[in-house]
């Protein structure tokens, strides 16, 4: 059975050749699949970079909060030293940085100073930051809101809470120093 040339032409005319379209679609699909994979990879990399940047911003914020506590306490130490040196000449300078030496050198009970508790919390926070970066046993023992061994969190809130109170503490401390000087 032989097929005539005319039959072959008619059969060819009856068929729709989609080979080029199919090949085009195959190449477009392959290219899109690779592009999707590249986009997913870029997105994952960008997400990791964003996460890294957010982590670094959180670390900068944490450091800034720690520094604000340290700076506030340092300011109180300097202010105390200056007030004591100016008005109570009998106190040895070296004793002013140790709380127990300061207590024993003052002519009044340090705990009687208004807002002493805020000053003490700030002092213990300062020590926790400097010595171990977490809530110390002394801080947790004296202030139940701080739990021993936990990360020092919300130091910005602690700073804002303690700042007005330690201003009162300094005012009261200097007043007591001046009052004891007059005696």
Q: pLDDT digits over 66-124, tens only?
A: 999 999 999 999 999 888 888 776 766 776 778 888 888 888 999 999 999 999 999 99
Q: Is 138 exposed, middle or buried (0-12, 13-18, 19+ CB in 10 A)?
A: middle
Q: Is 159 exposed, middle or buried (0-12, 13-18, 19+ CB in 10 A)?
A: buried
State the pTM of this model.
0.78
The rounded distance, in Å, linking the Cα atoms of 136 and 119 is 16
Residue with tokens 């940085």: 97
Q: Where are the domains of the chain?
A: 65-182
Q: Is 104 exposed, middle or buried (0-12, 13-18, 19+ CB in 10 A)?
A: exposed
Rg of the chain over Cα atoms, rounded to whole angstroms, equals 37
Residue-level pLDDT at 63: 95
């Amino acid at each position: 059975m032989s097929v005539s040339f005319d039959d072959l032409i008619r059969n060819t005319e009856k068929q729709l050749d989609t080979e080029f379209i199919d090949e085009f679609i195959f190449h477009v699909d392959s290219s899109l699949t690779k592009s999707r994979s590249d986009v997913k990879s870029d997105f994952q990399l960008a997400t990791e970079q964003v996460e890294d940047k957010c982590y670094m911003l959180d670390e900068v914020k944490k450091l800034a909060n720690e520094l604000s506590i340290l700076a506030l306490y340092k300011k109180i130490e300097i202010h105390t030293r200056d007030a004591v040196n100016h008005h109570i000449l009998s106190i040895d300078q070296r004793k002013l940085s140790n709380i127990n030496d300061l207590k024993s050198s003052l002519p009044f009970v340090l705990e009687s100073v208004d807002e002493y508790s805020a000053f003490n919390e700030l002092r213990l926070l300062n020590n926790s930051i400097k010595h171990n970066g977490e809530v110390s046993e002394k801080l947790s023992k004296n202030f139940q809101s701080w739990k021993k061994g936990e990360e020092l969190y919300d130091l910005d809130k602690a700073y804002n809470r303690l700042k007005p109170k330690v201003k009162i503490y300094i005012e009261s401390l200097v007043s007591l120093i001046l009052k004891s000087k007059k005696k």
